[in-house]
């Protein structure tokens, strides 16, 4: 392999890492509320931590990710922020996510217990590459 070919290969490897890598997020909850027929509830201990990774149509993590597969769409907004939306549902719950500008918004309609409830959270996140 000559030097030019080796150089091109290394540049491709460096610049394509962002396209090929999974993303990992470390987040802290900044707001949460649950709405049910019985009224509004806020957490006793706000500020929980959340970690998750996103790859293709899966999101794995702690706290609010309960489904095996998600319908995920990636986007770039008018300010240049890269983000995603995700949706998943089953008989117990429907979850929708919106991530942009280092914030993850999550809402769920949850069918546990005697009556359904709506749970919503906002998390402040830092994105890292998952090597």
| Tens-digit pLDDT profile for residues 1-59 | 455 544 444 333 334 334 334 689 999 999 999 898 888 887 766 788 999 998 878 89
Tell if the pTM clears 0.85, that is, is over it: no
Which H or E element spans position 83?
strand 82-89
pLDDT for 2 equals 56
Percent of the chain topping pLDDT 70:
79
φ/ψ of 109, rounded to 5, equals: -100, 115
**53 and 59 Cβ atoms separated by less than 8 Å:** yes
Taking the CB of residue 17, how many other CB atoms lie within 10 A of it? 11
pLDDT for 129 equals 67
Query: 73-98 burial, b if ≥16 CB within 10 A, otherwise e?
Result: eeeeeeeeeebbbbebeeeebbbbbe
Cα–Cα distance between 103 and 44 in angstroms, integer? 22
pLDDT digits (tens, 9 = 90+) for 55-113: 878 899 988 898 989 999 999 988 888 899 999 999 999 999 999 999 999 999 999 87
């Amino acid at each position: 392999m000559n030097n030019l070919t080796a150089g091109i290969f290394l540049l491709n490897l460096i610049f394509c890492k962002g396209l090929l890598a999974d993303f990992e997020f470390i987040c802290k909850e900044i707001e949460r509320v649950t709405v049910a027929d019985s009224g509004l509830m806020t957490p006793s201990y706000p500020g929980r931590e959340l970690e998750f990774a996103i790859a293709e149509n899966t999101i794995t993590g702690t706290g609010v990710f309960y489904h095996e597969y998600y319908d995920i769409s990636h986007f770039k907004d008018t300010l240049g922020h890269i983000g995603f939306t995700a949706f998943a549902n089953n008989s117990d719950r429907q979850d929708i996510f919106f991530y942009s500008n280092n914030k993850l918004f999550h809402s769920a309609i949850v069918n546990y217990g005697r009556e359904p409830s709506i749970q919503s959270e906002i998390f402040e996140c830092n994105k890292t590459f998952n090597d």
